[in-house]
Amino acid sequence: MAASQSPTALKWWFAVEMRRMRDRKGLSREDAARAIKGSTQGVGHIESGRSLPKPLELDKLLELYGQTERAEFFHDLRDMAKKGKDWWIGFGPSVRSYFNLFLGLESSSPQIEGWDALVPPGLFQTADYAEGVIRAGYVDLPGSDIRPLVELRMARQREVLERDQPARVWRVIDEAALRRIVGSREVTKAQLEHLASLAERPNVDVQIVPLDAGAHTGTEGTFTLLSAPPELENYPGCVYVETLVKGYYYEELEEITRYRNALTRLRVQAIKPEDSPAFIRQIAKDL
């Protein structure tokens, strides 16, 4: 088995794959708990990345899911996943419980794609712009809790964009999101210049859907497609959608295909990636 990903990165994809195997068999967490003589909460912890199954538990689950021929692969994956700590562990309560899985998947995904309807994605935000977004979105949050959330967003950028083998990131952004003033005009202009500079990187593609494109398939809201590392054979990745109260993960091929088709249509309506830097800088001049 290849070992190009960090141990903790593989833990999160291991968790998603355990849940997918159970879902494909039409089994409940109660069924899995009975097979390992454990609790449904314990199965939930395995499937959310909070813990790893013991070797005998893993064997029982693979037998239940009809995947015994992949036992060596999953035991190798489990052993690797035990060897490290999550990079965001120091941020404590700044990390919402449902967001742990996303952080693990994002920091290990070789390709991250998506649609941004309201603001540029967190991976592309400057610290001042991120602070403005967070303050507006979490109006009941004490001021002392804002800075850790901003620092977490900056740390995400380092983990994804600055690692030894940075992820390929391709985002399609609505023009209206770029014209919205966040923080101040100066903060927004700095954000647009930062976005234009990122769009010139070889591993980053940015497309803008212009206002005159009219109605499009992105009206349902922002979403992110995360590709799986090559160690997980035949795994299609997942789609992440966040709401005010929690994040949702869509992992079935049919669901992923629907989102990918929507993103493809948005790309067709958007300007070409090579034209984005100049387009973004012109918006900054217009502000």
Percent of the chain predicted with pLDDT > 90: 56
pLDDT surpasses 90 at 182? yes
pLDDT digits (tens, 9 = 90+) for 117-144: 999 999 999 999 999 999 998 888 887 8
pLDDT surpasses 50 at 5? no
More confident residue, 2 or 156: 156
Q: What is the pLDDT, as a whole number, of residue 9?
A: 59
The full set of domains in the chain, from first to last, is 7-81 (1.10.260.40), 89-286 (3.30.870)
> In which band, very low, low, confident or very high, does the pLDDT at 2 lie, cut at 50, 70 and 90?
very low
pLDDT digits (tens, 9 = 90+) for 73-130: 888 778 776 765 677 777 767 777 778 788 888 888 899 999 999 999 999 999 999 9
Q: Which two tokens stand for residue 8?
A: 């903790």
For the chain, give the mean pLDDT.
Answer: 88
Q: What is the pLDDT, as a whole number, of residue 105?
A: 84
What is the average per-residue pLDDT within 162-186?
Answer: 94
> In which band, very low, low, confident or very high, does the pLDDT at 171 lie, cut at 50, 70 and 90?
very high
Q: Of the candidates 202, 256, 189, 206, which has an alpha carbon nearest to the alpha carbon of residue 228?
A: 256
Contact 253, 37 (CB under 8 A): no
pTM equals 0.80
Q: What is the pLDDT, as a whole number, of residue 240?
A: 94
Q: What is the pLDDT, as a whole number, of residue 75?
A: 87
Q: What is the pLDDT, as a whole number, of residue 7?
A: 45
What is the average per-residue pLDDT within 183-212?
Answer: 97
What is the average per-residue pLDDT within 21-47?
Answer: 93
What is the average per-residue pLDDT within 23-44?
Answer: 93
Q: How far apart are CA 107 and CA 160, in angstroms?
A: 5
Q: What is the pLDDT, as a whole number, of residue 141?
A: 80
